[in-house]
Structure 1
Amino acid sequence: MSPRPVTVGAVDGNQPGTYTGADMARYVPEPDKRPGRTAFQRDRARVLHSAALRRLAGKTQVVDPGTGGAAGTDTSPRTRLTHSLECAQVGRELGAALGCDPDLVETACLAHDLGHPPFGHNGEMVLDEFATDCGGFEGNAQSLRLLTRIEPKRFTRVTEPATGETALVSVGLNLTRAALDAATKYPWPRGAHPTDPGSRKFGVYADDLPVFRWLREGAPQGRTCFEAQVMDWADDVAYSVHDVEDGLQAGHIDPRALRAGPDRDEVFACAQGRYVPPDTPSEELAEALDRLLAQPWWPHRHDDSALGQARLKDAASQLIGRFCLAAESATRERYGAARLTRYGAELVVPRAQRMECAVLKAVADRYVMQRAAQARRRAEQRVVISELAEALLGSAPHGLDPMFRAMFEGASDDAGRRRAVIDQIASLTDEAATRRARTLP
């Protein structure tokens, strides 16, 4: 049972600039307990204080927590939480420079990975197979479901037209329309990609369409808002730069191997298969890598000394600045000095910087994710999620947390019950999923 959208009669908060009352509307209207805050400041606070954000501390980004550096020291690699915080910092500053509300962009960046299941994309693939009969699984669609349904903050009473029965239904964090839209990378349901119907990327499940239609009112079909584009680029920048940084600190990446030889070809082949169109010339990727290698701050070697760590940190800062300034300059060149928000502009990222970013992703992929030890670990993780999913479904509602047990028992069909099990698993940290799998009969 989903709540029906309610029209907001008044704007909550004093928002300057080009954001309208419709942008700041909430699915269920509510008074502001502390006047003086903007609607988007409230949104940011709700995501920051959410349990879902805290759980990201227990979800691996690329390098496993505790992995030592070259000298065996603990380098504290990124988790999904620290990645989200860094993405938020990058997105907030870039968005503000282009005229977006900084709290709005930061909210979207903090929220963009909330729906990722245990073990990241590896767990995502297993859950997608398990969810074949109920609409599939996608981390971005799960993020929207979490923001609008699962994370308990606001409830509303809904009457079922067929029976006249009423019930309290969660509307999640009840964020503003603009915040939900800004957090939506793929504004379409499964199979409705505007140019590639076979794409596995989508942003909403079928039973979450009511709130999706509400948040997309007035939006051009299939188009992401400007704030979502800023969030998406900030995400690319943060994880491409920091995944390489973590790989270097952990000793998995030898920067000398990028200068010449077969390793470079493997990096380019990886980029062509995953991060750029397959027909992208290897020569263009080589030029992108060589531009980075030619920079005076590029870390041609790394050690775990204080000076070595400082050099690496400076290189990361230089890369982030390079990518963000390129996007800011190119966008300003097209649109001038106007304040850019919602559907008034498109973020312009020069192709050269997109290629450089893609090469960095491929470097981390080739040297960190494709390690033999990681391949074995991913296989073990897939078994954990697969066995856990089958066991929980077979024993449900036993074994489900109270929230998900209620969702399971309240579901009207097998698809809804399976979705409740998926919601339970997606909410777990890596360790919690592993621990539960160990207790399976």
Structure 2
Amino acid sequence: MGNPRKWKRRHEKSEDDPFRTPYQRDRDRVLYSSAFRRLSGVAQVAAVNEQRVLHNRLTHSLKVAQLGRRLVQHLKQGDSAEAREFRKSFGINADVVETAGLVHDIGHPPFGHVSEPVLDACLRRAVGLEGFEGNAQSFRIVTKLARRRTEYAGLDLTRAALDAMLKYPRPRPRSADDLFTAPTWTDRRFGSKWGAYASELEDFRWARKGATSSLRSANAILMDWADDITYATHDIEDCFRAGLIPLHDLVSDRDRIARHARRRLGKLPDFEPALFDAGLDKVISRFGKITSSCWDTRQNRSAMNVITTANITDCVNAVSFAADPPHIAVDARCQYLVEALKELTWYYVIDKPSLAVMQEGQKRIVQSLYDRLRDCLTESPKSPRLPIQLRSIYRELGRDPDFDSAYRGSAEAREARAVVDYICVLTEAQAVDLDERLSGRSHSSMFGAWFS
């Protein structure tokens, strides 16, 4: 299992399990948590209630976990004693990367990224709070909000698992200028965001004990790369299936796609348009196997499988060991290939009015839900109008010394954080239903209530 410090837990002191390693127990704890199951009700790109069978946050997370395990297996090829010792010293572990892949999106609010600026603005208005960040919310869920024992909060994952899920291993920097520290955007050692609230600072410090500054761990780099690969491949499949991306006829749009990408990515440090164009041309060439706009032909479905396999194989082979800490590198050309794949979704789907209009409505639902729940909580924490789980979250915040210390006992901070925590444990269907009930627009009765 490598370094014994890495498989320790903050709360439980013994590992009395004859057939599972501590890292395997981490994985099982996540899979059996309600916080993980909830992701089946959170969208990836398309709404989870679509008639077509598309990816959601749960199936995305399962694929990230699976691909992360394969990346570790790829790196562990080779039988020389020197190579084995080289790998062992970096602490890469397939179970750790898989667990990190399972939990990396566990803090996503309903409707995903579109809700994050709304919740960020809500928290920033509260005294002392640093705003909202989906990665920090994921860390908060596994260390505080998810419960498996009455003796402690969170899932009590090992130090290695917590460190591996920290794609952005730092609290919020004091200024936006401090957010990106990598010399080039293809340097996977750094991240451009932050990953822990002040209320989880002690858990963060414990997880990062012995780590180097704000460098990601080797396991975190592998999980993050698996996330990029998975997102880039399955979103294209979903959007083609829905008739949104004309994979059979990309050549005519090639130059417009490239110009759109330069506007979107041109500010990245050391972005090289020629490398992006090479990646885009490779993507378009591969999708030449798609013969028509119809997903449901046997030929197109088989072709898509061949293309996805080729793209993933390239991305797995792009990972190698490096001399500098944390000793994991990803070939830059393959990173441009992944960005070219992502660009198809950006060009044809994300930057289109049909999605923007729907997202505007989703933002309003989240804002309305926050305002109404916050008003009820401010009026009385014991109000029968408050869902039981929200009352429980609010009560637990009052007992959390870390939260009290971080925000100086601010009642306003406690109310705002409790409401946002509650929103982030809802599925999208639950968020819509609760907002309709609170606003008087629901046609449901008290007998259909799920929150009491």
**Global fold match (TM > 0.5):** yes
Comparing 115-124 and 301-310, the one that deviates more: 301-310
Q: What is the deviation of 1:347?
A: 2.1
Instruction: Work out whether 1:254 is the aligned partner of 2:231.
Output: no
Q: What is the deviation of 1:75?
A: 3.6
The change in CA–CA distance for 1:197 and 1:232 in structure 2 (over 3 A counts) is closer
Instruction: Work out whether 1:308 is the aligned partner of 2:285.
Output: no
Partner of 2:138: 143
* Deviations, residues 181-216 of structure 1 (Å, cap 9, x unaligned): 001100111126897348972100011101111111
RMSD: 2.4
Q: TM-score, normalised by structure 2?
A: 0.81
Comparing 246-255 and 264-273, the one that deviates more: 264-273
Instruction: Work out whether 1:186 is the aligned partner of 2:168.
Output: yes
Structure 2 distance, partners of 1:275, 1:179, is 34
C-alpha contact (below 8 Å) 1:268/1:362 kept by paired residues? no
Q: In the alignment, which of 43, 56, 67 is matched to residue 60 of structure 1?
A: 43
Q: What is the deviation of 1:249?
A: 1.0
* Deviations, residues 222-245 of structure 1 (Å, cap 9, x unaligned): 011000000000000000111111
Partner of 1:269: 260
Comparing 121-130 and 283-292, the one that deviates more: 283-292
Instruction: Work out whether 1:92 is the aligned partner of 2:78.
Output: no
Counterpart code for 2:4:
G
Correspondence 1:387-398 to 2 at 5 A: 387-396=368-377, 397=381, 398=383
Instruction: Work out whether 1:290 is the aligned partner of 2:281.
Output: yes
C-alpha contact (below 8 Å) 1:24/1:39 kept by paired residues? yes
The change in CA–CA distance for 1:366 and 1:352 in structure 2 (over 3 A counts) is same
User: Percent identity, aligned pairs only?
Assistant: 34
* Deviations, residues 400-430 of structure 1 (Å, cap 9, x unaligned): 4434313324533211221011100011111
* Deviations, residues 326-381 of structure 1 (Å, cap 9, x unaligned): 22xxx14x46xxxxxxx964321111111111111111122122232211100000
Could you say what secondary structure the match of 2:199 adopts?
Answer: helix
Structure 2 distance, partners of 1:89, 1:135, is 34
Q: What is the deviation of 1:153?
A: 1.2
Could you say what secondary structure the match of 1:107 adopts?
Answer: helix
Correspondence 1:19-418 to 2 at 5 A: 19-65=2-48, 67=50, 74-99=51-76, 100-132=92-124, 133=126, 134-156=129-151, 170-191=152-173, 196-197=178-179, 201-261=193-253, 264-270=255-261, 272-274=263-265, 277=268, 280-295=271-286, 298-299=289-290, 301-303=292-294, 304-327=296-319, 331-332=320-321, 334=322, 345-396=326-377, 397=381, 398=383, 399-409=385-395, 410-411=397-398, 412-413=409-410, 414-418=412-416
Greater helix share, structure number: 2
The change in CA–CA distance for 1:194 and 1:119 in structure 2 (over 3 A counts) is closer
Could you say what secondary structure the match of 2:18 adopts?
Answer: coil
Q: What is the deviation of 1:63?
A: 2.2
Comparing 228-237 and 209-218, the one that deviates more: 209-218
Instruction: Work out whether 1:427 is the aligned partner of 2:425.
Output: yes
Structure 1 distance, partners of 2:227, 2:13, is 31
Structure 2 distance, partners of 1:222, 1:88, is 23
Partner of 1:162: none
Q: What is the deviation of 1:321?
A: 1.1
Comparing 308-317 and 178-187, the one that deviates more: 308-317
C-alpha contact (below 8 Å) 2:40/2:58 kept by paired residues? yes
Structure 2 distance, partners of 1:389, 1:183, is 28
